[in-house]
């Protein structure tokens, strides 16, 4: 029997009313839940002890609150609504348009649906299976389709009218999941045969903005009001704190709370006369609202603390070395086939595996085309890094990005395929730089310097140098690595 259950409640488009959230949190509190977190798809997540789960489930059903326990059958619809007004104002895509679209989804999608303003870079464009992106033509949307468990992406040949998006999304889902149409032409025929939608030809690809992550924490003025961004270093929000937030929203007539893909919370529409009250609640619960910008630019997986711990490990190195990360965001992937959003991706994989047991793990570092996190193309920067060496290599990548010196010579990879390295002998011989501890492993070569995998150390050119600190080849020392 499980000791704990992971319970998920979808918040469509990352929007929830204070009253609805207060109701859920009250039931969770009564079930002994003290902290909750928000997921990368703008959902509410909580861990519930098995003895309390049956009572919470009974209460949720009584209040007709949809939920999932330890399953991901119905992914949340995510949107860029959380950044509307505070980070940018769309030419035609406003609050009413988002709600018009959401009202059409009278079913729970089994595919991941993204709704995005094309002029923002705060939320991801292509992490969904059905990615709707506002076009320059008012009330018409691009659709980019990514089949499940695939890295391929194709543009729907027509722009979709706002009032037809829900109906078309349902038709595409049925064709993909029930009729197994995955290819572009077959899918289009299956959806449009016998159905009519209001459309316009989509003659060009969407023009995406350059990536720039806005600072999304603390009090910030817009117009005559303020918005408040709340981030927690451990991604955990106290239920007691959130209940007070909901109560104050209801008291001051703040109608909505917005969850972001960065697992944070944005509260819009705070009037100046209420700022002191909001500050009092933050102080009462010891909520810090001015973290470093480089700490906010990370996305980790849901349902695990491993990515968060690795993030904090790297951030300590960044702080010590004053690393510049402006223009970058980072994703940490510790499990096969999970998906995170980032221009730099850290991917954990087993170095030695027996069956389902990973005996030793290493990390690969990738970066996207032009370091735009919305790109689906990844380039390998470094492979097979031990955790000890990971922060320094990410720091190298950040510095090369900042100075514009990185060329995309790395291997292009398709990340949906998880590869396990063949089992190694218990003793592995590598060559380590005594100055910065960078390792040259003959098994992997040196991608950055165009040294192919399998190149013996003795065959390296005489002018070969440590890729990190430029120490000459002759100073590198042979080390026998014992694999536990």
CA-based nearest residue to 185, from 208, 163, 160, 157: 157
For 5, other C-beta atoms within 10 Å of its C-beta total: 16
List of residues 6+ apart from 289 with CB closer than 8 A: 217, 218, 219, 228, 229, 230, 231, 282
Q: 161 is in which domain, residue-wise?
A: 88-201
Which pLDDT score, from 0 to 100, does residue 457 have? Answer: 87
As a whole number of angstroms, the distance between CA 165 and CA 143 comes to 9
SS3 414: coil
As a whole number of angstroms, the distance between CA 290 and CA 310 comes to 21
CA-based nearest residue to 210, from 87, 398, 370, 402: 370
Burial of 64 (0-12, 13-18, 19+ CB in 10 A): exposed
Look at residue 275 and tell me if it is in a domain: no
Query: 371 has which bridge partners?
Result: none
**The two structure tokens encoding residue 344:** 């730099």
Q: 193-200 — which CB contacts under 8 Å span 24+ positions?
A: 195/171, 197/158, 197/160, 197/161, 197/164, 197/167, 197/168, 198/160, 198/161, 198/163, 198/164, 199/140, 199/158, 199/159, 199/160, 199/161, 199/164, 200/137, 200/140, 200/158, 200/159
Q: Which of 141, 166, 201 is the last residue of a domain?
A: 201
Which pLDDT score, from 0 to 100, does residue 483 have? Answer: 45
Please check whether residues 324 and 444 belong to one and the same domain: yes
As a whole number of angstroms, the distance between CA 107 and CA 333 comes to 30
Look at residue 179 and tell me if it is in a domain: yes
Structural domain tally of the chain? 2
**The two structure tokens encoding residue 355:** 């069956």
Please check whether residues 344 and 459 belong to one and the same domain: yes
Which contiguous run of DSSP H or E holds residue 406? none
Please check whether residues 183 and 309 belong to one and the same domain: no
Look at residue 388 and tell me if it is in a domain: yes
SS3 288: coil
Query: Mean pLDDT in the chain?
Result: 90
Q: Which of 201, 233, 253 is the last residue of a domain?
A: 201
Look at residue 236 and tell me if it is in a domain: no
List of residues 6+ apart from 184 with CB closer than 8 A: 145, 154
List of residues 6+ apart from 76 with CB closer than 8 A: 10, 11, 12, 14, 39, 41, 42, 43
For 294, other C-beta atoms within 10 Å of its C-beta total: 19
**Model confidence, pTM:** 0.82
Look-up of token digits 């993204």 = 114
Which pLDDT score, from 0 to 100, does residue 421 have? Answer: 41
Which pLDDT score, from 0 to 100, does residue 412 have? Answer: 63
Q: Which residues of the chain have pLDDT under 50?
A: 1, 417-426, 482-484
Look at residue 140 and tell me if it is in a domain: yes
Q: Which of 201, 230, 255 is the last residue of a domain?
A: 201
Look at residue 369 and tell me if it is in a domain: yes
Please check whether residues 364 and 473 belong to one and the same domain: yes
Strand bridging mode 15-16 / 257-259: antiparallel
As a whole number of angstroms, the distance between CA 50 and CA 31 comes to 10
Number of H helices, E strands in the chain: 10, 26
Please check whether residues 299 and 197 belong to one and the same domain: no
Look at residue 13 and tell me if it is in a domain: no
Look at residue 52 and tell me if it is in a domain: no
For 327, other C-beta atoms within 10 Å of its C-beta total: 16
């Amino acid at each position: 029997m499980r000791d704990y259950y992971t319970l998920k409640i979808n918040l469509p488009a990352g929007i929830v009313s204070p009253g609805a959230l207060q109701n859920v949190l009250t039931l969770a509190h009564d079930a002994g839940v003290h902290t909750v977190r928000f997921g990368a798809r703008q959902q509410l997540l909580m861990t519930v002890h098995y003895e309390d789960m049956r009572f919470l489930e009974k209460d949720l059903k009584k209040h007709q609150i949809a939920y999932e326990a330890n399953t991901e059958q119905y992914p949340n619809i995510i949107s860029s609504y959380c950044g509307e007004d505070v980070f940018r104002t769309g030419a035609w895509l406003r609050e009413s348009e988002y709600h018009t679209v959401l009202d059409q989804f009278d079913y729970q999608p089994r595919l991941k649906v993204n709704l995005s303003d094309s002029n923002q870079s705060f939320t991801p464009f292509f992490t969904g299976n059905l990615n709707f992106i506002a076009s320059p033509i008012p009330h018409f949307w691009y659709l980019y389709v990514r089949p499940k468990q695939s890295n391929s992406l194709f543009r729907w040949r027509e722009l979709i009218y706002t009032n037809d998006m829900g109906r078309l999304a349902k038709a595409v889902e049925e064709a993909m999941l029930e009729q197994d149409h995955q290819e572009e032409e077959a899918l289009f025929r299956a959806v449009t045969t016998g159905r009519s939608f209001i459309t316009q030809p989509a003659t060009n690809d969407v023009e995406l903005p350059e990536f720039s992550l806005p600072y999304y924490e603390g009090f910030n003025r817009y117009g005559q009001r303020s918005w408040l961004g709340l981030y927690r270093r451990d991604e955990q929000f106290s239920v007691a704190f959130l209940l007070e937030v909901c109560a104050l929203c209801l008291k001051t007539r703040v109608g909505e709370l917005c969850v972001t893909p960065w697992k944070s919370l944005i509260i819009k529409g705070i009037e100046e006369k209420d700022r002191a009250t909001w500050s009092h609640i933050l102080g009462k619960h010891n909520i810090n609202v001015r973290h470093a910008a480089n700490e906010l630019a990370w996305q980790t997986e849901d349902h695990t603390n491993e990515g968060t711990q690795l993030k904090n490990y790297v951030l300590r190195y960044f702080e010590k070395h004053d690393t510049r990360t402006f223009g970058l965001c980072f994703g940490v992937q510790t499990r096969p086939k999970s998906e995170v959003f980032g221009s730099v991706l850290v991917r954990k994989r087993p170095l030695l595996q027996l069956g389902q047991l990973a005996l030793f793990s290493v990390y690969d570092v990738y970066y996207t085309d032009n370091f735009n996190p919305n790109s689906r193309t990844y380039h390998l920067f470094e492979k097979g890094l031990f955790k000890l060496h990971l922060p320094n290599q990410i720091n190298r990548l950040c510095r090369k990005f900042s100075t514009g010196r990185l060329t995309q010579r790395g291997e292009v990879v398709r990340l949906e395929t998880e590869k396990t390295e063949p089992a190694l002998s218990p003793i592995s011989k590598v060559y380590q730089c005594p100055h910065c501890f960078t390792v040259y492993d003959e098994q992997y070569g040196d991608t950055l310097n165009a040294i192919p995998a399998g190149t013996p150390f003795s065959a390296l050119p005489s002018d070969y140098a440590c890729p990190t600190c430029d120490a000459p080849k002759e100073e590198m020392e042979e080390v026998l690595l014992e694999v536990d």
